[in-house]
Amino acid sequence: MKLAKTEYLLKIAIVVVPLVILRLLWGQGGTPASSAYRTWQVYGGTPDNIHYSTLDQINRDNVSRLKVAWTYDTGDAFPESEMECQPMVAHGVLYATTPKLRVIALDAATGRLRWSFDPNEGQKVTTKRRNRGVTYWEDGNDRRLFYAVRQNLYAIDATTGKPIPSFGNNGIVDLREGLGRDPKTQSISSTSPGMVYKDLLILGSIVSEDLPASPGDIRAYDVRTGRIRWTFHTIPHPGEYGYDTWPKDAWTYIGGVNDWAGMSLDVARGLVFAATGSAAFDFYGANRLGDDLFANCVLALKAETGERVWHFQGVKHDLWDRDFPAAPTLVTVKRDGRMVDAVAQITKSGYVFVFDRDTGRPLFPIEYRQVQASDVDGEVTAATQPFPLEPPPFARQQFTEDLVTDRTPEAHRAVLERLRKLRSGPQFTPPSLQGTVIFPGFDGGGEWGGPAFDPESGLLYVNSNEMAWVLRLVERPKTKALASTRQVYAAHCASCHRPDMRGTPPEFPSLVNVGSRLKEDEMAKIIREGRGRMPNFAELGENVIAAMANFLASGKDTQFATPLSEQGLHPLKYTMDGYNKFLDPDGYSAVKPPWGTLTAIDLNAGRIVWQIPFGEFPELAAKGMPNTGTENYGGAVVTTGGLLFIGATNHDRKFYAFDKATGKLLWEAMLPASGNATPATYEVEGRQYIVIAAGGGKSGAPSGGSYVAFALPK
């Protein structure tokens, strides 16, 4: 009996001990606990995307001594350009992109340029381009970088900076191919780095938010050849799960439902996690009635095959542009006395959802509440929407009269008068012809920088915007058989660039005097092919495209016969009157501060530990109004050294280090331009560095093009 028991215990030990050792070595979710968190070879730091480092050479005790170690000016900044890239580091080389989307390789210890790759082929770059990082893969001496510029996915030799001829067509794969639609009519790119699993590059996309728009399929490419290995249809095709939540032919004409913010990966489980956005058109969905699965979803897919494991839909039939704005964060939390591998997902509305990583079961209660129905012709809103009961929201939830700015009596009166003319209610108050207040606004709440997670404490750190916006639906101008360029502009361009062409810079640039910046053939190319959120209008035909380019350049209103239907390319009755922030007469937020916050949330207990205003306007601080908080873009990095590093703020050009336990400011430095990017930290030859892109260009702030690395004095 004793021998049998001994043999039994021995068998248990043979199975369990290696698993325990593997767990200790690889940490939660299959990431090497001791080594991976000391490198920065992946967007977000590691595949779990927690923005965490065990490097502690820089810590609470010495962070005040932090100095600039090196600065590299890309020389690529231009008016309204941005640089949102988070660098990655491998073998002592830092890889990043510039405002004109060149890839640069720098010596990570000195900032010296090793090589540069320019995808622009000598073309002048005068319009904003966006990229948040590159993807790195290696197999022995074969080291590759992947990133997209417009529709082209590039594979670059990480050692030489040259395209790899065996990948796609001489180093390029056209992302318009393989979508099941005519490639010439598609407009698609990818601004966030893809995720590598074995020999697969798993990639999301950015597509137009108005029709016509490309579908947001998630695709896996062979890292060596560029061949598509699998595709997950985010707008389900006939016979696929979720098909019945759309009109039967929606997969042929609806676009969007794209993972634009990046992904996370559980290596041990072989699961990739994606967060999708809304369907196009974002704000009126009479042509996509139903819940619209898999829009606004957290998706768990088998990384090897793309097969769906589970999903959660955070917004049904989205009409508010409530994309999940950041990649899911793979965390480990304590629930009911045990440690649970989980997925945390932040939202633009200011909530955090937390799910069991294997099953998708919510770890905190979610309540489905009745929400207001739409009174707009043709629209049918979902009857209920999900609300997590814990943790509490990290952003205020409704713009009520008690939140009206009191910055000055004049500002208060003006905002209050306007608010009383608008529709303002709780989350999911539907869009209206009257005008509906969206709070937090289209840019969050949470945004693409995403949260940082500290596995030592279970704290999730989220920077957030608290700006109100106004969404007003208007009838979409009809384009008759005999039309003019001015009518075509009103029908297809004015909702973003405004009827007066002034736009809402920098997101939707002004087209006033655009002819001084772009040639007519350059404008025609953009109209034909689209760019970023802008759809392509190839279906207008070359004659109309040429006339539109001439209209934008000269103002000449050309009459022409066109094959467009009565509604043009959009079989929709309504559009919107622009992306309008709710501001006071002086250009400041209509709500009382804080206008931006930084919050620490305990995911074990489901509570907020601390929250502080984040950022300030120097001109208001000089008048005795400091710590208002500002809009902020880019995430944080948390370290074992007790620190939380973040730039992000639009107006004050500062890079900060906070005590991660309390939110106390420990150090700050001025950057050449606002650091609207997520920093990275790494070690070279025993010295720890923290680096950030200083690109500026948001909210009217000056643009920049520098990378700045900080370290302790030698």
**Taking the complete model, does pTM exceed 0.75, yes or no?**
yes
pLDDT on residue 9 = 41
Helix (H, G, I), strand (E, B) or coil at 295: coil
pLDDT on residue 561 = 63
Give the distance from CA 129 to its chain's centroid: 14
Nearest alpha-carbon partner for 658 in 4, 77, 185, 64: 64
Contact 681, 53 (CB under 8 A): yes
Nearest alpha-carbon partner for 460 in 598, 646, 364: 598
Q: Can you spell out the DSSP letters for 49-80? A: ---EE---SS-TTTGGG-EEEEEEE-S---TT
The Cα 308–Cα 293 span in angstroms is: 13
- Sequence ranges of the domains in the chain: 2-30, 477-569
160 φ, ψ (degrees, to nearest 5): -110, -20
Structural domain 477-569, CATH architecture: Orthogonal Bundle (1.10)
pLDDT on residue 567 = 37
Q: Is the peptide bond before 212 cis (omega within 30 degrees of 0)?
A: yes
Nearest alpha-carbon partner for 349 in 269, 429, 294, 267: 429
pLDDT on residue 540 = 73
pLDDT on residue 25 = 37
pLDDT on residue 496 = 78
Alpha helices in 506-663 (DSSP H): 520-529, 542-554, 618-621
At 462, the amino acid letter reads V
pLDDT on residue 516 = 80
Grouped pLDDT means (10 residues each) for the chain, 714 residues: 40 36 36 69 97 98 98 96 97 98 98 97 85 98 97 98 98 97 93 98 95 95 98 98 97 96 98 98 96 98 98 98 98 95 98 98 98 98 98 98 98 98 98 98 97 98 98 83 75 79 75 83 78 69 82 83 47 90 97 98 98 97 97 98 98 97 98 98 98 95 97 96
